[in-house]
Amino acid sequence: MSYSPKIGVWLCECGGNIGDVVDTQKVMDEIKNQVQFVKRERYLCSKPSIDTIKEIIKNEKLERIVLACCTPKMHRETFLKNVIEEGINPAFLEIVNVREQCSWVHKKDPEGATLKSLDLIKGAISRIKESKELHTKQMHVTQEVLVIGGGVAGITTSLRLSEYGLKVHLIEKSPSIGGHMIQYPKVFPTLDCSQCILTPKMASIAQSSNINLKTYSEVKEVTGSPGNFNVKIWVKPRGVDVEKCIGCGECSRVCPVEAPSEYDERIGKRKAAYIPFPQSVPSVYTIDFDNCVRCGLCAANCPREAIDLNDEGKIEELNVGAIVLATGFELFDLTNLVNYGYGRYPNVITSLEMERILDVNGPTGSQLIVPKTGRQVKSVVYVLCAGSRDTEVGQPYCSRVCCLYSMKQAQLLRDRGVDVWINYIDIRSPGRRYEEFYRLTQEKGVNFVKGKVTEIEPNGEQVLVRSEEMMLNKMMENVVDLVVLSPPIISSEDTAKLSEMLKVPIDEDKFVLEKHPKLDPVATKRDGVFAAGAVIGPKDIQSTTAEAEGAAMKVVNFLGMARIIEANKAYLARNELCDGCGKCKKICPESAITIVEDKPVFNEITCSGCGACIPECPQNALDQEGLTDIQIQTQIKGILNDTKAPLKIIAFVEKEVVYTAIDLAGLARLSYASSIRIIPMPSLARIKLEHILYAFSYGADGVMMLEAPIHEGPYGNAHKISEERAEEYKWALEDYEIDSSRLWYSRVYVPDWRKLERIFNTFHEMVESEDPIEGNQRGKILKNLLKIKD
Amino acid sequence: MRLAYYPGCTLKTTAKSFDISTLESSKTLGIDLIEPERWNCCGTVHALSKDDVMHHLAPIRNLLRIEEMKKTGIVEESKVITVCAMCYNTLKRANLVFNSDSDKVKKINENMENESSVYNGSVQVEHLLETIKHQGWDNLRNKVKIPLKDLKVAPYYGCLLLRPRGLGIDNADKPSIMEDMIRALGAEPIDFAYKQKCCGSYHTVFMKERVADLSYKILNQAKIAGAEIIVTACPLCEFNLSHRQTEIIKNRSEFKEFPVIYFTQLIALALGLKEDSMVFGENKTDPRPLFKYKGFLKEI
């Protein structure tokens, strides 16, 4: 005879909450022969009761515990803590929800509630007999961080992490860090000198011994898993030895080639041997090999012999625990907005080009001129939403900073006596000190015109801007010297590439998707990968730095905690059956499975425990820790066997979102049929066809699958799969002469709890109206199932 | 390649030069355009009628003719080529409606009692520019006898060739098909602000001054951008841009006559066809002095 563990069962009356409806004495009588010990308590969660439990476990040498009481979401943690103290493994505690799922919802049907409680307890007893000890694991986490992008977000995160004492690798694709912020002469709303506040931070990066700064470098490949990523960095051919270069600039002085300066938005020029701007960090020159003519003058004149014109770049490898994406933004290509004539007329420029013109060290030498023609600028029109909030040609979203930076530029222009008009659709200036900034801009005499600019056309050496003036209800024609367009802020192509490399999903708008848009805004959907700044949407510097600080904290938290791996993973249970077909790998919504030597290997960190892979295996080779097929089967059997209930419905429910909704229905004392017997599941993608067939063969009259909405809850990525499977299962049921309408599938949101009453009752009535399933038909299914097993 | 050709009314009356240059240059490019024996108005004159079915009847009837031509083997493909922007738009829209709105199809068919068969919706409506594009710009380039070197040509699209989105022959915001054609002919396309602006259309009948104003803006912008000539694919655009120059000159003494021709005339010129294939004499604004100055036409 197989080993039979000593089981103890406690029933809680919850004052009268349970006891007034469920006949606890009857339940006790029914199960006392099945287990070693049964007891009833008035309040199971009270301290004296818990002490009693502990004492009895000790005295009776109980090994497994079943508690029939309120929802496990209420007191499971308390009970668990106490039984663990008595040496009970967490796998050997089962909670049966007889309050929210029985007494509260079946008040009008005490007999049904009693039968149902009994069945659920029987199910838990059967199941716990098949449970095996579970142990959580801890994982080594590499205490190094990769920060991608050297703008203000990447700089802030890197500094904070280095201060904390973590080793940081900061990767920047251009020759210097500083990002877009270093291009702005002033920043709103304080009109601070942007370079004055950013340059010291850049210098700290260079000086920090914890920061390994890699400029002119790109991420090429990322493998490994959260906590232990392997990263390949492509250090682009720079032609200059970063260690030797002292930044004297001799190479640049002798370089005969000129190319457009990226820092000056291609308005000004730089040499092919160059430093982007004087305060560059690192203060090291770069040879631009796209434009270099390889004359060798630079190499000949370098006092440090730091130049190598045959530099081919190199690959460097890193091992990091966490990654922060801070790749910022780009601007939408305005030549797509034909009616504004960008790229066609010299006096139509972008706001970023205007930033450079307004810089005292800018390409026009602080003169207010049209860069291409050199003509003095005395009047300027700003075109806001030049592509933003445009569902046809541009981007549908608001770029968020354009109103404010245009006002900033307008103020700077007004200070120099220039006439300024700002054409807007809506001025959006929420944020601390922003509305005040708007008012100040008005006070400085900037003209605000409510109306979208329809077209811009050349008018001699000036341009004519045609727009609506909605306040005056007329069309407006404005002839000015310069037009500044505010292009949409868009996600960069590099971000798209990285997101693929890092398996971090991006949203429709191409910006990185947050783990939760409200409650977890700087974490991505992938563990160990965080994001800050404009890579998760257009935003100002203030919000960017706030996010950068937040991302640093998230990294510290992630690396600081010993990572606990829950014992709920899928695993290869029957190695000999696996033929390496790879279907499990393909279906896995978390990409946690790799095939090594024709066998699946499960990444324990990425596996969410959704169980979607298990039904997918054609060889039936997979199983799940803490939720084995045999546990599910025996639980179903335990619930249905020998029950006196006239109608039995097994409802598999997703255990976070849907289970909570069911609890809420209980709390609201909704009333539904007592035939519904609930079995929680991580995701309904865990359900195999055989589980449904077992339910019917053991006596179920109907089976429900209540799934959470896609992407909600910890197993959200699997919720799509179950829907497709349920469709297949319906067809399969017909093969066993079970009407497909006896399998119900629907999705339930937490706020849907009120709907549950109707869903349960509708299905109950539907099943009730059908002819009962014959006993020999159930037998046939069971025989078939057992044959499959052999 | 034998393809059905729908000329439309204007090409048989005021825009004969468009018709002739289309047929002649297509022939040289290996496209034999065959006119249906019987055709009617494309339907555009009903465009403003409140009844949405009415202006679909005429184009569907025309498409039915094309299906018949395909059936009897007169043409190789169930396709109709047209050059007039208005006809193109009307035929294509009716075809789209026919293939997507079953309620309308029912109503349209109820009004076809005079026809011996019912339209199947098989005909593909194509603009000649698309046909040439599908042949490949290199094909056109290779057939050029007189490369139009240094000729600065402003392509004027107008409205119906590009809009509504999904119906037009090219990207409605950033078209390039005419530019590509101009380049293939060896000339230089000139980008200008008004290439997609409205020419004033039928207002030319009762509001001559308004249309003259619009035409002036288009012509002037092309001139500012450096163009020497405008090409268009719409008889009404051509009419407005050239005939309204009379009023423009009356009001603005500085304005000099500016040549406006059909794109097919430019193709015919580059292909080295005889002058009676281009019929420049039919144009209100005579481009011949320019072409002679450039050396594309012999001095008489």
d(CA B300, CA B286): 15
Residues of chain B contacting A, Cβ within 8 Å: 173-174, 191, 193-194, 196, 221, 224
Using the predicted structure, report yes or no on whether residue A198 has a pLDDT greater than 70.
yes
Phi, psi at A35, each rounded to 5°: -130, 170
| Per-residue pLDDT tens digits for A305-356 | 999 999 999 999 999 999 999 999 999 999 999 889 999 899 999 999 999 9
Q: What is the pLDDT of residue A89?
A: 95
Instruction: Specify which residues A594 forms β-bridges with.
Output: A601
Domain ranges of chain A: 1-136, 138-198+211-222+317-328+492-565, 237-312, 333-487
**What mean pLDDT is predicted for residues A172-199?**
95
3-state class (DSSP) for residue A67: strand
Q: Which of the following CATH numbers is that of domain B2-129: 3.30.1390.20, 1.20.1050.140, 1.10.1060.10, 1.10.645.10?
A: 1.20.1050.140
- Cβ–Cβ under 8 Å, residues A44 and A69: yes
CA distance B236 to chain A (A): 23
| Per-residue pLDDT tens digits for B33-59 | 999 999 999 988 776 667 778 788 999
Q: What is the pLDDT of residue B300?
A: 54
**What mean pLDDT is predicted for residues A572-589?**
94
Share of chain A above pLDDT 90, in %: 87
Please judge whether A457 and B194 are an interchain contact, meaning their C-beta atoms are less than 8 angstroms apart: yes
**What mean pLDDT is predicted for residues B7-14?**
94
- Could you say which of A336, A456, A457 has the minimum Cβ distance to residue B174? A336
Task: Using alpha carbons, list the distances in angstroms from residue A736 to A92, A740, A785.
Answer: 36, 10, 11
- Cβ–Cβ under 8 Å, residues A226 and A606: yes
Q: Does this chain's domain A138-198+211-222+317-328+492-565 share its CATH topology with A333-487?
A: yes
d(CA A605, CA A607): 6
- Torsion over CA: B110, B115, B118, B123 (sign): negative
- Cβ–Cβ under 8 Å, residues A645 and A116: yes
Neighbours of B210 (CB within 10 A): 13
* Position with higher pLDDT, A51 vs A714: A51
d(CA A90, CA B33): 84
Query: Per-residue confidence at A248, pLDDT binned at 50, 70, 90?
Result: very high
Please judge whether B193 and A337 are an interchain contact, meaning their C-beta atoms are less than 8 angstroms apart: no
Q: For the residues of A421-450, what is the DSSP string, one character each?
A: EEEESS----STTHHHHHHHHHHTTPEEEE
Please judge whether A344 and B193 are an interchain contact, meaning their C-beta atoms are less than 8 angstroms apart: yes
Chain mean pLDDT for chain A: 94
Neighbours of A241 (CB within 10 A): 15
Q: For the residues of A519-568, what is the DSSP string, one character each?
A: TEEEEESSTTEEE-GGGGS---HHHHHHHHHHHHHHHHHHHHSPEEE-S-
End-to-end CA distance of chain A: 21
Please judge whether A458 and B193 are an interchain contact, meaning their C-beta atoms are less than 8 angstroms apart: yes
d(CA B209, CA B216): 10
| Per-residue pLDDT tens digits for A369-426 | 999 999 999 999 999 999 999 998 899 999 999 999 999 999 999 999 999 999 999 9
Task: Using alpha carbons, list the distances in angstroms from residue A428 to A232, A398, A403, A442.
Answer: 42, 9, 6, 14
Share of chain A above pLDDT 70, in %: 99
- Could you say which of B173, B174, B221 has the minimum Cβ distance to residue A457? B221
Neighbours of A129 (CB within 10 A): 19
Domain with CATH 1.20.1050.140 in chain B: 2-129
- Which value, to the nearest 10 degrees, does the dihedral of the CA atoms of residues A637, A641, A645, A651 take? 10
The continuous run of DSSP H or E covering A205 comes out as: helix A194-207
Secondary structure of chain B in the HEC alphabet?
CEEEECCCHHHHCCCHHHHHHHHHHHHHCCCEEECCCCCCCCCHHHCCCCCCCHHHHHHHHHHHHHHHHHHCCCCCCCEEEECCHHHHHHHHHHHHHHHHCHHHHHHHHHCCCCCCCCCCCCCEEEEHHHHHHHHCHHHHHHHCCCCCCCCEEEEECCCCCCCCCCCCCCCCCCCCHHHHHHHHCCCEECCCCCCCCCCCHHHHCCCHHHHHHHHHHHHHHHHHCCCCEEEECCHHHHHHHHHCHHHHHHHCCCCCCCCEEEHHHHHHHHCCCCHHHHCHHHCCCCCHHHHHHHCCCCCC
Bond prior to A189 in cis (omega within 30° of 0): yes
Strands A192-193 and A186-187, bridge-based pairing: antiparallel
- Write the ipTM: 0.70
Residues of B in contact with A453 (CB under 8 A): none
**Token pair for residue A369?**
């001129």
- Among A160, A14, A38, A40, smallest CA distance to A98 is for A14
| Per-residue pLDDT tens digits for B124-152 | 999 999 999 999 999 999 999 999 999 99
Question: Is A455 near chain B, with CB under 8 Å?
Answer: yes
3-state class (DSSP) for residue A95: strand
Residues of A in contact with B193 (CB under 8 A): 339, 341, 344, 455-458
d(CA A378, CA A356): 17
- Among A538, A605, A715, smallest CA distance to A322 is for A605
What are the strands, taking DSSP E only, across A592-655? 593-596, 599-602, 622-624, 649-654
Nearest CA in chain B to A340: B193
Please judge whether A457 and B191 are an interchain contact, meaning their C-beta atoms are less than 8 angstroms apart: no
Q: What is the pLDDT of residue A230?
A: 94
Domain spanning A138-198+211-222+317-328+492-565: which superfamily? FAD/NAD(P)-binding domain (3.50.50.60)
| Per-residue pLDDT tens digits for B211-244 | 999 999 999 999 999 999 999 999 999 999 999 9
Query: Per-residue confidence at B112, pLDDT binned at 50, 70, 90?
Result: confident
Please judge whether A456 and B193 are an interchain contact, meaning their C-beta atoms are less than 8 angstroms apart: yes
**What mean pLDDT is predicted for residues A139-165?**
96
CATH-assigned architecture of domain A237-312: 2-Layer Sandwich (3.30)
d(CA B240, CA B245): 8
Chain mean pLDDT for chain B: 92
Question: Is A461 near chain B, with CB under 8 Å?
Answer: no
| Per-residue pLDDT tens digits for A29-75 | 999 999 999 999 999 999 999 999 999 999 999 999 999 999 999 99
The continuous run of DSSP H or E covering A32 comes out as: none
* CATH class entry, domain B137-294: alpha beta
Domain with CATH 3.40.50.11810 in chain B: 137-294
Q: Max Cα separation, chain B?
A: 61
Residues of B in contact with A344 (CB under 8 A): 191, 193
DSSP A750: G
Domain spanning A333-487: which superfamily? FAD/NAD(P)-binding domain (3.50.50.60)
CA distance A343 to chain B (A): 11
**Token pair for residue B62?**
């025309």
With tokens 């033929």, the residue in question is A579
Please judge whether A344 and B221 are an interchain contact, meaning their C-beta atoms are less than 8 angstroms apart: no
d(CA B216, CA B210): 10
DSSP A307: B
Question: Is A393 near chain B, with CB under 8 Å?
Answer: yes
Using the predicted structure, report yes or no on whether residue B12 has a pLDDT greater than 80.
yes
* Cβ-based neighbours of A399, under 8 Å, separated by 6 or more: A388, A486, A487, A488, A489, A538
Q: What is the pLDDT of residue A1?
A: 41
- Cβ–Cβ under 8 Å, residues A572 and A621: yes
CATH-assigned architecture of domain A1-136: 3-Layer(aba) Sandwich (3.40)
- Among A170, A175, A236, A235, smallest CA distance to A204 is for A170
**Token pair for residue B64?**
């039915």
Q: For the residues of A393-422, what is the DSSP string, one character each?
A: SS-SS--SSHHHHHHHHHHHHHHTT-EEEE
